[in-house]
Chain A
Amino acid sequence: MNVLIVDDNQASADLLQELLVLQDHTARCTYTGQGALDAAAQEAFDVALVDLTLPDFPGTVVAQRLRNEAGDKPRLIVAISGYAETEAVGASGLFDHHLQKPIDFGDLDRILAAAA
Chain B
Amino acid sequence: MHMPSDVESKLLIVDDLPENLLALEGLVRGHGRPVFKAQSAEEALGLMLAHEFALAILDVQMPGMNGFELAELMRGTERTRHIPIIFVSAAGREMDYAFKGYESGAVDFLQKPLDPHVVASKVNVFVELYRHKKALRREVEAMALLHREQEALVQQLQCAQRELERAVRMRDDFMSMVSHELRTPLNTLYLETQVRKLHLGKGNTAHFAPERLPAMIERDQRQIQNMVRLIDDMLDVTRMRSGALSIQPRPIDLAALARGVVESLAQQAEAAGSAISFDAPSEGVRGQWDDFRIEQVITNLLTNALRYGGGKPVEVHVGASHDWAQIIVRDQGMGIAPEDQARVFEQFERTEASRKRAAGLGLGLYITRQIVQAHGGRVELESAAGVGSTFRVSLPLPGAAK
Contact = CB atoms under 8 A, between A and B. Distances in A.
Interface string A7-30: 001011001101100110000000
A101 B186 CA distance: 8
Interface string B180-220: 11011011111110110011001000000000000000010
A76 B223 CA distance: 30
B117 interface: no
Interface in A64-103: 81-83, 100-103
Contact of B186 (A11, A23, A102): A102
A9 B188 contact: yes
Interface residues of B, number: 23
Nearest to B222: A11
Nearest to B182: A82
Interface residues of A, number: 19
B184 A9 contact: yes
B358 to A, nearest CB: 9
Nearest to B219: A11
B357 A55 contact: yes
B190 to A, nearest CB: 4
A101 B189 CA distance: 11
Contact of B183 (A15, A19, A100): A100
A53 B360 CA distance: 13
Nearest to B176: A83
Given A12-B188, A102-B190, A105-B194, A82 B219 contact: no
Interface string B343-359: 00000000000001101
Contacts of A102: 183, 186-187, 189-191
Contacts of A15: 188, 191-192, 195
Given A16-B191, A19-B198, A100-B183, 12 more contacts: A11-B188, A12-B187, A19-B191, A22-B198, A81-B180, A82-B184, A83-B176, A83-B179, A101-B187, A102-B186, A103-B187, A103-B191
5 closest Cβ pairs, A-B complex? A82-B180, A101-B187, A15-B191, A102-B190, A102-B187
8 contacts: A16-B191, A19-B195, A22-B195, A22-B202, A82-B180, A83-B176, A101-B186, A103-B187
